[in-house]
Amino acid sequence: MLIQQLLNGVSLGFIYILIAVGLTMVYGVLKLLHFAHGVIYMVGAFAAMAGMTYFHMYFAVAFLFALAVSGAAGMAVERIAYRPLRGVHPITTLISGIGVAIFLENAFQVAFGSDTRAFPETGIDVSIVRLSESVSLTNTKLYIITAGLAGIGLLYAFLKLTRLGLAIQAAAQDMRAASLMGVNVNRVVSVTFFLGSALASAAGVLVAMNFNSLYPTMGAIPGLKAFCVVVLGGLGSIPGTIVGGLILGIVESLSDGFMTGMVVDKDAIAFLILIVILLIKPSGLFGKNIEKV
Amino acid sequence: MLHIRNLHVSYGSIHAVRDVSLTVEEGEVVTLIGSNGAGKTTTVNAICGALPAKGSIEYGGKPILGLPTHRIVEAGIAMVAEGRRIFPKLTVEQNLRMGAFSRRASRSELARDMEYVYGLFPRLAERKRQMGGTMSGGEQQMLAIGRALMAKPKLLILDEPSMGLAPIVVRDIFDTIRTIRGQGLTTLLIEQNAAMALSVADRGYVLEHGEIVHHDTAERLKSQDIVKKAYLGGSA
Amino acid sequence: MLKADGVTKRFGGLTAVNGVGLEVRKGEILGLIGPNGAGKTTFFNILTGIYKPDGGTISFDGRPIHALPSFRIARAGMMRTFQNIRLLKEESVLDNVKVGLFGKTGSGLWAAILGLRSAKREEEEVTARSLATIERVGLKGREREAAGSLSYGDQRRVEIARALASDPKLLLLDEPTAGMNAAEVQEMTDLIRAIRGKGTTIVLIEHNVAMVTGLCDRVAVLVHGEKIADGEPESVIAKPEVVEAYLGKPDEEVIAVAAHS
Amino acid sequence: MDAFFNPYYVDIVVFLIIYMMLGLGLNLMTGYAGQVSLGHAAFFGIGAYSSAILSTKAGIDPWISMILAVVLTFLFSAVLGLPSLRVREDFLAITTLGLGLIIQSFFKNADITGGAYGIDSIPPLSLFGTKLDNTGVLVVVALALLASIYALRKMTRSRIGRAWMVIREDETVAKAMGIHTTYCKVLVFAIGGAYAGAAGALFAHKMSFIGAESFGFTVSATVLSMVVVGGLGSIRGTLFGVTLLYLLPELFRLFKIDGVDMKYIDMYKMMLYGLLMVVVMRYRPKGIFGKTGMKTKSCRAADEDRSADRETKGVKERVDPA
Amino acid sequence: GSGAGGSASPASGKNEGASAKPAETIKIGWFGPLTGATATDGTHSRDAALLAVEQFNKAGGLNGAKVELVAEDDQGKPEEALKAVQKLVSNDKVVAMVGGAYSGPTKTAAAKIQELKVPMVIAYAVHPEATKAGDYVNRVIYAGPIQGKAMADYAVNDLKKKNVAVLYVDIDYGKTIYGAFKEEAEKLGAKVAIERPFKMGDKDFSSILTAVKAANPDALYVVGYYNEAAAIVKQARETGIQAQLLGVDGFDSPKYLELGKTNTEGSTFTTSFYTSDTRPVVQSFVKAWQDKYKGEPDMLSSQSYDAATVVLEALKKVGADREKLKQAINETKELDGTSGKITFGKDHEVIKPVVFMTVKDGKFQFVKAKTYN
Ligand SMILES: Nc1ncnc2c1ncn2[C@@H]1O[C@H](COP(=O)(O)OP(=O)(O)OP(=O)(O)O)[C@@H](O)[C@H]1O
Ligand SMILES: Nc1ncnc2c1ncn2[C@@H]1O[C@H](COP(=O)(O)OP(=O)(O)OP(=O)(O)O)[C@@H](O)[C@H]1O
Ligand SMILES: [Mg+2]
Ligand SMILES: [Mg+2]
């Protein structure tokens, strides 16, 4: 059973990783306290649902449609709610992001109702993949793991191999200096938001499909967990995001599987671990803290 | 190649630069000197599009006032900003690569230019993988200059490049300025070390309280009394 | 009054300060010079407790301080300025300078809430002393301006005022004249002399050799984290190893510049 | 006295004041000392539960239990503030958020807090044997608020207040200037917590029933929004920000708006609320009463350029004002 | 109007007077979550109460006087409920109230309402203490323990299950029902194989279910609402758990079938209402609901409809006097509600049959009904 539980943890962890990769770009690299990430994730799920239900798209088309819609939404959020706040206390971004989240969650409730709804039929049947006698996994979870790996790969390639990736990091550290290097900071930030949001929406679609449910407030808790993962890993670190997500998934799965009657629940345990790790390594698992006085 | 006419810059109610007119011709080294708070940094920030300003700034015959910074940089102006502003969490090498951002250079070209910079500042070559932010003050200054050179600019603006550098490096840097000038690079140099600045410059402007009070060839400025007294530490 | 012995600091593989021993005598002005990256600032950071040394001992006024937290060292009477100016940019010059007097005062929250006379008197004293210090560094009349809106050179003066306000026994200045022109350097030199005149011992890091030789009683040279020379300014800068590592080969120009001060 | 004042309006003001006290405590921590907290509701809850438990289970008089609750919150907050000393400042928002969740989870699961059932029959405040009516409670909370404001003003203008300010702006400088940063940070957590504790105690006795759901992340985020919208580091700002964001939904309740689909009226209300937050931040990024500049000279927004010290600050990626 | 409907606001003495005419509209209050995470339930509850009031008015109202339902959002927060109630009483001068909120807000409101002396009928909150506030508070849904007891009886005696796994939502609803179930089941000789709490909003139950599977139970009792229940049945099948699925009235929503798809087949749960009930009151309710709101009413709507009906019936009997209304509500007996014949006991809890339903062919089907107390 332990092995099955660990596997459950890993697949749960990959859900968190998938949600967190987008945030790793925006919060981890750009250092923008982006509290509307969870909402973008929700927008993605709804966009795919709307594409399939109202425009009768195939699942694959709807998936791409969702990426585009969320990417655009993310760019709009940055444009409207964050860009005017550059150079002010980062907490203002956080508040503005919370405002956006409240607005969109309620707008979606008006548009789609607050009920949980089922994800449209995708044509993908859930089947069980047996890894051994007692260990198994559903195929949808395998897709999530694959998508998580793909997301991480994309992030890595983007940050490490492209000019723009380097420019993003530079812009995050010093926007003025970056613009003096000829970086169009606004464009770079927009692109980052587009990619980060598209990744969030990929997560939203896959999760909604896997659990066959979506509702306007679905992003709230995953959004917070994603923050937890990004911080746990040490802002902006790719291995950190993977390890952070896995730790969170495995901890939750083990506490679900083996513990009962605790004074705090599993979400709290996840944060407890986060705090303990930060106390030991104040800059996160893979974070570097350098200060020169 | 750079023509500034009647430039005015204000910070709220503070009128920091008043009616400044200044030209830098192709191939020249022009220096801008003046005491603390005279408005030198403000002037060059306005050139780079970092501050809203009134008046006109033309570069290569085209007006650039009001353009976003990155467009100005793409047009061939590079600046070593006051306070150096290197990217603290990028390595030395990445900082240099960022310098070439506006150029879209090929890999081999980049490598060649990087070697050139490492040649100018061997310390940087020793520290390729160190985080910019942990370099010593002087090392950061070298990195900032190196980074600006990576852009292969047509016009290089240096805001107090010698600040915080050991004498041996200062001399190297002024040697560098002479060298690159020989290669046809145009330079606008802001310096507190007026003696040094005037020794490499063709012409100089003296800024006081936001206004140009003198401008002349470097040779003649050096011998002017007021300049001597205020900026060269001539005995009073 | 300050005695460092075998002080060492490593960053990863790099030994930034390597077994440096240095003695500062009461009432002197000691210059610390050396090429960029020699470890001068790092040495200051160790003295003031911002970095913990990996080896060596430091005593101040006969008391070991290398294991003390920063704020205790400051309260013991060692104040500093920062090479990269670190002012509270949105606060007024006056408020910035007042910060320097924190360790000299002692009233707590209750005194403030209850509006005790002692707290008020203390506050008045802090203001008066801060204003006096601002005047001393030549910024009179600019007390109410936001520190961040001053020019670079003036910001340095505020830094010095902040460190100076509490009348420290030892004042550490990290490149106080960086970014100043010759006339301003002269003013700063006079100021530092005046500060010493009031009994404060000073250690300063500088790259302006002319100023250092003119001002300092003694000069120590750090190269690659090691002290290579220590003594009379003229004799130190004449040493070939110093010339080679720091000044470059003697050159009319450098000498010409040096001669101006 | 309820005969003269509509008890509903009185209640609105009572809760408004309770939120103001929460806001003041948070503003002290975040606005004055730079310690961003997304877990303020935890302190609120500790105050509420302490007073509730002491007055129901230990039978202590509500007045005394409230005072004890403030003391207890002070102590708890000091302990809970300890991680803030270790954790990098830009992670503080997340760690305090986590702390908030952990503590709320504890409220929800522990026996002493009544677990999922909460605590009920919390005795109301009474004076000389008669229960205070709504207006009476209003007088009590109003006095508490005045005392809080007075103390906050005095504290922030004191010597320790200046130390908090330096810590907010630059901790290294604070240390180098002789400020005991550890002590000051723990102190600000404790005091900010105690403010929330007082608010919590008043809340518990006003409500008569408390359950864990009243002390969740939403409350923390709401209070933080109120403080930031009002302006960090400004007392008037906090009072205004709380009033604005608190009364907005209430206005919807009072004036039924015609012409919109009633079914969604409450969602429109929340949309407007979210929009307001975005708009205020956009046009007054420092909050409505935030300092826009210094006394004589104004620091322009693109002030980053001035900073030669920027490269070092950048390394630490500070959360506090650059 | 009969003399009974004297004043719309008897509680605040001074306000009555010449203005109080019998033909004025009579206001009934409703509060519950219209925004926030539980807004769906709140909205249904309000809609149901509105429907009851509308029908009442259509049938002539109270001797010509119309009844108006004033609904207030409590955002799912106790303090908002307190204010909502205070507002309904002070500003709207409601004569009685329908509680359409979850437990926390309901508890807080109950104490206040007792103090203000306004009768209230709780629709669906199950916190055991809610009716202890006093004689002004009644509840139309049976308290949690009844359901737990009923299911224990059914599982052990009817289905002969001996080894039951229990998953319960970690709020008072889950804990109360589960507590009663466990006690009763053990009394009847069955055993709880494994128990695990979960949170509202949880999605991934694979770990809990892996543990459940390892305990090898013959039944899985899920005490929670349809969202999580649907996820649990789906994942239980994916985990390979074949045990009989048992549930509570939280399942009773068309959403359960929509989200759980075929996995719901065979799950059996307790509730108090079913749309296929042939009693006219139910059929007319279902029809009216379909006409007005589309779709099928769920358990929660039926409870709210019944709570409103209780109030309206009392109003019809004694008029708009809070004191008399309270009396009349307390004395409600065999009232023909959509969820069975409603009688209030001495403890202000409802006495009515527990209904067992099962999912068959993708539909809810009636199994049996039995009264417990
Ligand atoms: N952000 C600002 N807000 C308000 N005033 C400013 C700001 N930046 C600069 N100033 C003011 O503008 C004037 C010119 O400053 P500037 O930085 O251009 O001087 P500078 O010649 O570069 O001096 P230094 O040699 O010290 O660098 C000064 O009086 C300064 O106080
Ligand atoms: N936090 C740190 N992490 C890694 N390396 C560091 C750190 N701080 C300083 N260094 C390195 O240690 C060496 C000494 O730095 P330091 O700042 O003391 O030099 P300095 O003598 O003050 O030079 P300058 O005159 O240029 O200011 C430099 O090579 C620097 O790169
Ligand atoms: Mg300047
Ligand atoms: Mg240095």
Half-sphere exposure of C175 (CA within 13 A, CB side): 24
CA-based nearest residue to E104, from D38, D115, D44: D115
C41 lines ligand 2 (CB under 6 A): yes
The predicted structure's pLDDT at residue A202: 92
Q: C18: part of which helix (H) or strand (E)?
A: strand C14-24
Helical H runs in chain A?
2-23, 37-54, 59-77, 90-112, 139-156, 163-173, 175-180, 185-211, 220-233, 238-258, 266-280
Whole-number Å distance between alpha carbons of A254 and A272: 15
Strands in chain E per DSSP E: 26-32, 67-73, 96-99, 120-122, 137-139, 163-169, 191-198, 219-223, 244-247, 268-271, 335-337, 340-344, 350-351, 353-360, 363-371
Best residue in C142, C145, C152, C215 for a mutation probing chain B (most B CBs within 10 Å): C152
Number of domains within chain C = 2
B12 touches chain D (CB under 8 A): yes
Best residue in C11, C81, C86 for a mutation probing chain D (most D CBs within 10 Å): C86
Mean pLDDT of chain D: 82
C37 lines ligand 2 (CB under 6 A): yes
Would the pLDDT of A117 be above 90? Answer: no
Whole-number Å distance between alpha carbons of B11 and D296: 12
Confidence of residue B178 (pLDDT cuts 50, 70, 90): confident
Whole-number Å distance between alpha carbons of C155 and C161: 10
Q: Is D314 a member of any domain?
A: no
Do residues C172 and C65 both lie within one domain?
A: yes
Q: Is D254 a member of any domain?
A: yes
Segment A85-114 mean pLDDT: 87
Ranges under pLDDT 70 in chain C: 249-261
Confidence of residue D300 (pLDDT cuts 50, 70, 90): very low
The CATH number of the domain where B211 resides is what?
A: 3.40.50.300
Residue C139's domain comprises 88-166
The CATH number of the domain where C61 resides is what?
A: 3.40.50.300
The CATH number of the domain where D28 resides is what?
A: 1.10.3470
Do residues C238 and C185 both lie within one domain?
A: yes
Would the pLDDT of D320 be above 70? Answer: no
- Using the 3D structure, point to which of C151, C166, C181 is the last residue of a domain: C166
Mean pLDDT of chain A: 87
Helices E226-239 and E206-215 meet at what angle, rounded to 10? Answer: 60
E79 touches chain D (CB under 8 A): yes
Tens digit of each residue's pLDDT (9 = 90 or more) over B115-163: 999 988 888 998 899 888 888 878 888 899 999 999 999 999 999 888 8
φ, ψ (nearest 5 deg) of residue E18: -60, -35
Domain A2-280 of CATH type 3.30.519: no
The predicted structure's pLDDT at residue B97: 92
Cβ atoms E226, E256 nearer than 8 A: yes
The predicted structure's pLDDT at residue C260: 43
Cβ atoms E223, E168 nearer than 8 A: yes
Helix/strand number for chain C, H first, E second: 11, 10
Tokens coding E36 = 């926030």
Confidence of residue D321 (pLDDT cuts 50, 70, 90): very low
Q: Is C65 a member of any domain?
A: yes
Q: Give every strand in the sheet of C218-223, ordered side by side.
A: C78-80, C170-174, C201-205, C29-33, C218-223, C226-231
Q: Is B11 a member of any domain?
A: yes
Would the pLDDT of D311 be above 70? Answer: no
Instruction: Please give the share of chain E, as a percent, with pLDDT higher than 90.
Output: 42
Confidence of residue A291 (pLDDT cuts 50, 70, 90): low
Q: Is B32 a member of any domain?
A: yes
The predicted structure's pLDDT at residue E23: 56
The predicted structure's pLDDT at residue A265: 82
For chain A, the domains span 2-280
Do residues C142 and C188 both lie within one domain?
A: no
Helical H runs in A78-219?
90-112, 139-156, 163-173, 175-180, 185-211
- Using the 3D structure, point to which of C166, C186, C216 is the last residue of a domain: C166
Whole-number Å distance between alpha carbons of E281 and B175: 99
Which residue in this structure is represented by tokens 């009688």?
A: E343
Number of domains within chain B = 1
Give the closest-approach CA distance of A91 to chain B in angstroms: 22
Number of domains within chain D = 1
Whole-number Å distance between alpha carbons of E235 and E12: 55
Q: Is D235 a member of any domain?
A: yes
Q: Is B236 a member of any domain?
A: no
The predicted structure's pLDDT at residue E359: 93
Helical H runs in E59-101?
78-90
φ, ψ (nearest 5 deg) of residue B214: -140, 150
Do residues C73 and C174 both lie within one domain?
A: yes
Mutational test site, ligand 1, from B10, B11, B20, B209, max ligand atoms within 8 Å of CB:
B11
The predicted structure's pLDDT at residue B91: 92
Three-class HEC string of B143-198: HHHHHHHHCCCCEEEEECCCCCCCHHHHHHHHHHHHHHHHCCCEEEEECCCHHHHH
Say yes or no for a CB contact (<8 Å) between A181 and B151.
yes
Whole-number Å distance between alpha carbons of E322 and E320: 6
The predicted structure's pLDDT at residue A273: 87
CA-based nearest residue to C70, from C93, C90, C95, C45: C45
Would the pLDDT of A181 be above 80? Answer: yes
ipTM: 0.86
Give the other-Cβ count within 10 Å of A178's Cβ.
26
Do residues C178 and C70 both lie within one domain?
A: yes
Q: Is D301 a member of any domain?
A: no
CA-based nearest residue to A271, from B235, E360, D95: D95
Do residues C175 and C260 both lie within one domain?
A: yes
- Which ligand is nearest to the Cα of residue B35, counting in written order? 1
> Ligand 4 centroid vs E299 CA: distance in angstroms?
74
Q: Which amino acid is at A130?
A: R
Ranges under pLDDT 70 in chain E: 1-23
Q: Is there contact between C and E if contact means ≥3 C-beta pairs under 8 Å?
A: no
Q: Which amino acid is at D154?
A: K
The predicted structure's pLDDT at residue B232: 62
* Length of chain B, in residues: 236
Residue B36's domain comprises 2-231
Whole-number Å distance between alpha carbons of A76 and A202: 18
E192: region left, alpha or beta (phi > 0 left; psi from -120 to 50 alpha): beta
Give the other-Cβ count within 10 Å of B234's Cβ.
15
Residue D111's domain comprises 7-295
Confidence of residue A290 (pLDDT cuts 50, 70, 90): low
Do residues C26 and C137 both lie within one domain?
A: no
Instruction: Please give the share of chain A, as a percent, with pLDDT higher than 90.
Output: 33
The predicted structure's pLDDT at residue A75: 95
Segment A72-101 mean pLDDT: 88
- Using the 3D structure, point to which of C166, C192, C224 is the last residue of a domain: C166
Tens digit of each residue's pLDDT (9 = 90 or more) over D253-292: 676 655 555 567 777 878 888 888 888 888 888 888 876 5
Do residues C192 and C202 both lie within one domain?
A: yes
The predicted structure's pLDDT at residue D314: 30
Strands in B38-166 per DSSP E: 54-59, 62-63, 77-80, 155-159
Mutational test site, ligand 2, from C7, C11, C45, max ligand atoms within 8 Å of CB:
C11
Contacts with E165 from chain A: Cβ below 8 Å? none
Tens digit of each residue's pLDDT (9 = 90 or more) over D42-87: 999 999 999 999 999 888 999 999 999 999 999 999 998 887 777 7
Q: Is C82 a member of any domain?
A: no
Q: Is D307 a member of any domain?
A: no
